């Protein structure tokens, strides 16, 4: 454990100084933090270590594919290329003078951005890990788990017994594939985002929106007769209250996935901002005495974020299972009426 701490401390220190501003330039902590937590068409690991990602555009039915390197000059300043330019984090058409032509539609962006590339990596990692585990169970179903199999088996059993069974009930099996997928997808991406140079995928609200939307759709389409009756004709509630209760219940259906989306997005993004802010203190105070203290606090926050990464995956999976359980639960209306 001591060696792990020293290694992480040294690694974070080197990372912090790798991100130092160029000599003579004024350090802008807000720009640095925004650059790290936002999506981008390049993947910046450190000064001089930049991966330029492919740009894929469909402009009025015509495919345009080129490297994002074309949008930067030798000083890494943005420049127009072939009638397009980077504007406020997205690609827009520009005229010969460099003026934006936003009013003209028909431009669709399917580029491989940093977040998309990170998602591909995490999905490939999930496939490798779980196909390997599934293959071992298939080839030796009665053998004791070993290696990576022994690490993931208790987690899978925990999700099955303590999350799915406990909150959904006898119909839990049909939801296990989704619950396992969303748990490990969020957890893996949370951990990848904590690596120096990692992408802030689960801190992107578009990603958390899609995950929450999938949970909402599964909940809605899983709802049985009893579930919908409690929304449109709540037992024990006077009929004259229906115009008030029905909108409230419908809003409640939407606020549940909304809370899932915001909770995951806010917690992961806040963790990244805190760690980067601690690193920024080194260059704000410009004191060698602040460096070790700042890195020490950042190291502590990094360990805390390792726990938060697992916790947020657990919370998202647990609440999704609770919503599914509420949708498929059978209610005894006679007891409720009594």
User: Which of 111, 139, 158 is a domain's end point?
Assistant: 111
Would you say residue 48 has pLDDT above 50?
A: yes
Of residues 152, 92, 162, the one with CA closest to residue 125: 152
Whether the Cβ atoms of residue 226 and residue 336 lie closer than 8 Å to each other: no
Does residue 76 sit in the same domain as residue 144?
Answer: no
Q: Which residues contact 332 (CB under 8 A, 6 or more apart)?
A: none
Does residue 78 sit in the same domain as residue 179?
Answer: no
Q: Please report which confidence band the pLDDT of residue 309 belongs to, taking 50, 70 and 90 as the band edges.
A: very high
What is the average pLDDT score of the chain? 84
Confirm whether 266 is domain-assigned.
Answer: yes
| pLDDT of the residue at 102 | 64
Does residue 60 sit in the same domain as residue 154?
Answer: no
Confirm whether 290 is domain-assigned.
Answer: yes
Give per-residue pLDDT as tens, 54-109: 999 988 888 899 999 988 888 778 888 888 888 777 888 887 766 666 655 678 88
| pLDDT of the residue at 20 | 46
Q: Which residues contact 182 (CB under 8 A, 6 or more apart)?
A: 211, 214, 215, 313, 316, 317, 320
Does residue 313 sit in the same domain as residue 238?
Answer: yes
Does residue 149 sit in the same domain as residue 218?
Answer: yes
Confirm whether 30 is domain-assigned.
Answer: no
Does residue 60 sit in the same domain as residue 97?
Answer: yes
Does residue 126 sit in the same domain as residue 191?
Answer: yes
Would you say residue 200 has pLDDT above 60?
A: yes
The alpha-carbon radius of gyration of the chain (Å, integer) is 25
Distance of CA 190 to the CA centre of its chain: 7
Confirm whether 198 is domain-assigned.
Answer: yes
| pLDDT of the residue at 46 | 72
Does residue 219 sit in the same domain as residue 268?
Answer: yes
Does residue 158 sit in the same domain as residue 306?
Answer: yes
Does residue 70 sit in the same domain as residue 198?
Answer: no
Does residue 194 sit in the same domain as residue 323?
Answer: yes
Enter the pTM of the model.
0.85
Residue 82 sits in which domain range? 54-111
Which one has a higher pLDDT value, 27 or 19?
Answer: 27
Does residue 219 sit in the same domain as residue 169?
Answer: yes
Number of domains, the chain? 2
Confirm whether 9 is domain-assigned.
Answer: no
Confirm whether 70 is domain-assigned.
Answer: yes
Confirm whether 8 is domain-assigned.
Answer: no
Q: How many residues does the chain have?
A: 338
Give per-residue pLDDT as tens, 105-131: 678 889 999 999 999 999 999 999 999
Most confident range (mean pLDDT) of 138-147, 237-246, 291-300, 309-318 is: 309-318
Confirm whether 75 is domain-assigned.
Answer: yes
């Amino acid at each position: 454990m001591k060696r792990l701490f020293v290694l992480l401390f040294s690694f974070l220190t080197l990372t912090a100084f790798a991100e130092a501003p160029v000599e003579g330039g004024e350090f802008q902590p807000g720009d640095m933090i925004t650059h790290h937590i936002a999506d981008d068409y390049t993947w910046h690991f450190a000064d001089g270590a930049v991966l330029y990602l492919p740009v894929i555009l469909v402009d009025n039915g015509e495919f345009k594919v080129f490297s994002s390197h074309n949008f930067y000059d030798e000083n890494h300043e943005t420049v127009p290329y072939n009638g397009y330019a980077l504007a406020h984090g997205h690609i827009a058409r520009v005229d010969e003078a460099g003026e934006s032509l936003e009013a003209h539609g028909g431009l669709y962006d399917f580029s491989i951005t940093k977040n998309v590339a990170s998602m591909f990596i995490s999905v490939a990692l999930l496939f490798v890990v779980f196909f390997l585990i599934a293959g071992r169970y298939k080839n030796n179903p009665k053998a004791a788990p070993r290696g990576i199999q022994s690490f993931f088996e208790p987690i899978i059993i925990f999700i099955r017994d303590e999350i799915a069974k406990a909150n959904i009930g006898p119909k839990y099996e049909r939801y296990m594939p989704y619950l396992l997928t969303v748990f490990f997808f969020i957890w893996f991406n949370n951990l990848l985002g904590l690596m120096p140079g990692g992408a802030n995928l689960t801190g992107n609200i578009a990603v958390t929106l899609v995950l929450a939307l999938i949970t909402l759709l599964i909940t809605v389409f899983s709802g049985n007769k009893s579930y919908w009756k409690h929304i449109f004709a709540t037992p024990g509630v006077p009929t004259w209250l229906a115009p008030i209760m029905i909108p409230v219940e419908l809003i409640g259906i939407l606020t549940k996935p909304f809370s899932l989306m915001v909770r995951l997005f806010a917690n992961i993004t806040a963790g990244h901002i805190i760690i980067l802010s601690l690193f920024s203190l080194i260059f704000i105070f410009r004191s060698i005495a602040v460096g070790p203290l700042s890195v020490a606090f950042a190291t502590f926050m990094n360990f805390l974020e390792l726990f938060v990464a697992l916790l947020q995956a657990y919370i998202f999976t647990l609440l999704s299972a609770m919503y599914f359980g509420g949708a498929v639960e059978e209610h005894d209306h006679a007891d409720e009426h009594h």
